[in-house]
Amino acid sequence: MAGAYGWTTAPDADACRVCGWDLGEPGWTQEPQYVICPCCGAEAGVDDLDERMARAYLIRWIAGGGRWFAAAERPARWSLTSHLSRVGLSVSRAEFPRS
């Protein structure tokens, strides 16, 4: 995953390993903390055990419209495209499941 916030040599412990959102607390320390991301809904230690799982969750979330899991916490003027760009993520159309 190019530019992957959670899978680099110096990851941000507070960043969701799926979408890069700032969780406000570590999703992982030595062990997963089972924090649920308010942005994508991924649970640390369940949906992000490895890079492949995190990528698959990200693609499913985007394919489903990238809706906020905790809608009340969604910042005003938040944009999925802007968010993904800011955290350094990109997804190609070829990665999406065919319907």
Q: What span, in angstroms and rounded, lies between the C-alpha atoms of 44 and 42?
A: 6
Give me the phi and psi of 15, to 5 degrees please: -90, 140
> Average pLDDT for residues 68-89, to the nearest whole number?
91
pLDDT band for position 8 (cuts 50, 70, 90): very low
Inter-residue contact 11 to 5 (CB < 8 Å) = yes
The CA-to-CA distance between both ends of the chain, in Å, stands at 24
CA 82 to chain centre: 14
Dump pLDDT digits (tens) for 41-51: 999 999 998 88
Q: Is the whole model's pTM more than 0.85, yes or no? A: no
Q: Which of 65, 63, 49 is nearest to 91 (CA)?
A: 63
Look up residue 22 and give its DSSP letter: B
pLDDT at 12 (0 to 100): 82
pLDDT band for position 2 (cuts 50, 70, 90): very low
Domains of the chain, by residue range, sit at: 1-91
